[in-house]
C-alpha cells in the first residue's frame, strides 16, 4: 500500500482544527468530587491489545473481574493511531481513551477531556513518580488522566535476514544491501501516522548534527524540510505504511517484510508464533509512547470511568498488560511477583531505556525560548502528501 489510507485523508481537516486548538488555551470542566454507584457500563477507546478479556489468550484477562466487582460492563473501540483516537473523542459517546502523548495535549486543549481528581484514585501514589506530573497529561498543575503504560517504538527485524541486530535505523530509511545480500527495497515498512516525522528527525539528529536538532518534535523550518526529504527518499523503498498491528504481523509472516518500526505487541505475538523475529533499539535511540487513561469531558458513565481508572493501575493488571504488550508498567510494584511478566520482565521490556526514548508529544508552533517550530497541522498535511507521492 503506497499511499495513506482514505481514513487518514478524512481525518486531515479535523486534525488541522485540533492542532490549531493547542494555541487557544485550556477550558475547565467540572471535576468529579466523589465516586458514586456505577452506571453499568464504561466505553473505552484503546490501542489494540490494551484491554483484554481473555478472548485471545485466557491468561490475559483484566476485564472480567472488574465487571464482576463493579457491575460496569466494558465496551471497547479499538483505534490504530492517535489521530483516530482524537477523531473518536471529538465525536463523543465514549468515557475513556488510552491516549499517547501526541494526542493527549490536543484533547486537553480542545476541551475533549476533563481534569481528573486524583484524590478519587486511591492508588495514585503508587504511580511511577516520573509519570505522575508528566507534561503530556499535566497542564498548569492539573492532571488530565492516569498513566497506564509506556514503551519504545522498536526496530523489528527478521533474524534469518539479520544474524545480528541492526545497529541503525538506516535499514528502513535508506536503500541498501542487507546482510542476506538482497536490497531492502520493498522489504521494509514505516508507520502510517504523521508523528512518524519525528522518527526521521531523530535519525537526522544523530546523522546530520549540523542541522542542530535537539527535540524531534520541535523542528524549525530547515530541520523539518530535512526530515521530509528523508521520508520522501524512504518512500521509494517502503512496501507498506502500517497502522494495523495485525496486518503488520501478517506482513512479517507472509509478505517478505524483514524490518520495520513496530510495537512490542507485534513482536511478542510473532515470537510466540515461533516466527524468526526479534527487536532492538538502535544506536540513535527511539521514539516512544507513554499512554494515559483520559476521561471525556462529557463522559456518559463517570462513576464507572473512575472505577476503571483505579482498576487500571492495580499491580496485577499492570504486570499482566506489560507481559502481554511488551510495555513497561506505570506502577513499578508490578515489576515483581507477577507470574506472567516474571521478575525480569520490566528490564526485558525496556525499563532502563526511559532516558533514551523521545516520547510522543504534539508539535506546536511556539516551542519555547522564543523559538518558532512547525506545528502539527502541517505534519498532518505534509505526511499525507508524502505518502501520496508528493
- Specify which residues 46 forms β-bridges with: 78
The DSSP bridge pattern shows strands 146-152 and 328-329 to be antiparallel
Q: What is the pLDDT of residue 29?
A: 55
Closest CA to 263 of 324, 176, 344: 324
Domain 6-151+288-359: CATH architecture, name and number where available: 3-Layer(aba) Sandwich (3.40)
* Residues contacting residue 49 through CB under 8 Å, at least 6 positions apart: 245, 265, 324, 325
For range 180-186, the mean pLDDT? 97
Residue 28's pLDDT band, with cuts at 50, 70 and 90, is: very low
Residue 369 has pLDDT above 70, yes or no: yes
pLDDT digits (tens, 9 = 90+) for 152-163: 999 999 999 999
Sorted by where each begins, the domain ranges of the chain are 6-151+288-359, 153-287+364-387
In angstroms, rounded to a whole number, what is the distance separating the alpha carbons of residues 133 and 356? Answer: 19
- Contact yes or no for 247/78 (Cβ under 8 A): no
- Same topology between domain 6-151+288-359 and domain 153-287+364-387: yes
Q: Which residue has the higher pLDDT, 18 or 89?
A: 89
Domain 153-287+364-387 is classified in which CATH homologous superfamily? Periplasmic binding protein-like II (3.40.190.10)
Closest CA to 63 of 81, 46, 83, 88: 46
For range 354-362, the mean pLDDT? 91
Q: Which residue has the higher pLDDT, 292 or 265?
A: 292
* Residues contacting residue 110 through CB under 8 Å, at least 6 positions apart: 18, 21, 86, 90
Closest CA to 103 of 94, 91, 118, 113: 113
For range 53-64, the mean pLDDT? 95
First to last CA, the chain: 15
Phi-psi region of 337 (alpha: psi -120 to 50; beta: other; left: phi over 0): left
- Contact yes or no for 175/237 (Cβ under 8 A): yes
pLDDT digits (tens, 9 = 90+) for 82-119: 999 999 999 999 999 999 998 999 999 999 999 999 99
For the chain, the C-alpha Rg in angstroms (whole number) is: 20
| Helices of type H across the chain | 6-21, 64-70, 82-91, 101-109, 129-132, 170-173, 197-207, 221-235, 245-254, 264-272, 302-311, 315-325, 345-348, 376-387
3-state secondary structure of 369: coil
The model's pTM:
0.83
Residue 26 has pLDDT above 80, yes or no: no
What share of the chain has pLDDT > 70, as a percent?
Answer: 93
Residue 368's pLDDT band, with cuts at 50, 70 and 90, is: confident
pLDDT digits (tens, 9 = 90+) for 219-244: 999 999 999 999 999 999 999 999 99
Closest CA to 150 of 363, 360, 376: 360
For the ranges 7-11, 47-51, 237-241, 256-260, the lowest mean pLDDT is seen at 7-11
Amino acid at each position: 500500500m503506497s499511499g495513506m489510507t482514505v481514513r487518514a485523508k478524512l481525518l486531515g481537516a479535523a486534525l488541522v482544527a485540533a492542532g490549531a486548538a493547542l494555541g487557544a488555551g485550556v477550558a475547565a470542566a467540572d471535576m468529579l468530587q466523589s465516586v458514586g454507584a456505577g452506571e453499568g457500563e464504561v466505553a473505552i477507546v484503546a490501542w489494540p491489545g490494551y484491554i483484554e478479556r481473555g478472548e485471545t489468550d485466557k491468561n490475559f484477562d483484566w476485564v472480567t473481574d472488574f465487571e464482576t466487582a463493579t457491575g460496569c460492563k466494558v465496551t471497547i473501540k479499538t483505534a490504530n493511531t492517535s489521530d483516530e483516537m482524537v477523531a473518536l473523542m471529538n465525536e463523543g459517546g465514549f468515557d475513556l481513551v488510552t491516549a499517547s502523548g501526541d494526542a493527549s495535549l490536543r484533547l486537553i486543549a480542545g476541551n475533549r477531556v476533563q481534569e481528573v481528581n486524583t484524590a478519587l484514585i486511591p492508588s495514585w501514589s503508587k504511580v511511577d513518580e516520573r509519570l505522575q506530573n508528566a507534561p503530556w497529561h499535566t497542564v498548569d498543575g492539573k492532571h488530565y488522566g492516569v498513566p497506564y503504560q509506556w514503551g519504545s517504538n522498536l526496530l523489528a527485524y527478521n533474524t534469518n535476514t539479520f544474524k545480528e541486530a541492526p545497529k541503525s535505523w538506516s535499514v528502513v530509511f535508506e536503500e541498501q544491501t542487507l546482510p542476506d545480500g538482497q536490497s531492502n527495497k520493498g522489504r521494509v515498512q514505516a508507520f502510517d501516522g504523521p508523528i512518524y516525522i519525528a522518527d526521521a528527525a531523530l535519525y537526522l539528529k544523530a546523522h546530520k548534527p549540523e542541522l542542530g536538532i535537539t527535540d524531534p518534535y520541535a523542528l524549525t523550518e530547515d530541520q523539518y524540510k530535512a526530515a521530509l526529504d528523508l521520508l520522501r527518499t524512504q518512500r521509494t523503498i517502503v512496501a507498506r505504511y502500517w497502522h494495523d498491528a495485525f496486518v503488520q504481523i501478517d506482513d512479517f509472516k507472509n509478505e517478505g517484510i524483514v524490518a520495520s518500526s513496530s510495537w512490542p505487541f507485534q513482536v511478542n505475538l510473532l515470537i510466540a508464533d515461533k516466527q524468526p523475529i526479534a527487536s532492538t533499539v538502535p544506536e540513535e535511540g527511539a521514539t516512544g509512547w507513554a499512554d494515559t487513561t483520559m476521561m471525556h469531558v462529557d463522559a456518559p458513565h463517570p462513576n464507572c470511568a473512575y472505577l476503571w481508572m483505579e482498576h487500571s493501575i492495580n499491580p496485577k493488571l499492570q504486570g499482566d498488560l506489560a507481559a502481554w504488550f511488551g510495555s513497561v508498567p506505570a506502577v513499578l510494584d508490578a515489576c515483581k511477583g507477577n507470574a506472567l511478566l516474571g521478575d525480569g520482565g520490566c528490564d526485558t521490556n525496556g525499563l532502563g531505556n526511559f532516558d533514551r526514548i523521545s516520547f510522543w508529544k504534539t508539535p506546536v508552533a511556539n516551542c519555547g525560548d522564543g523559538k518558532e517550530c512547525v506545528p502539527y497541522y502541517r505534519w498532518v498535511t505534509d505526511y499525507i502528501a508524502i505518502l501520496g507521492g508528493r
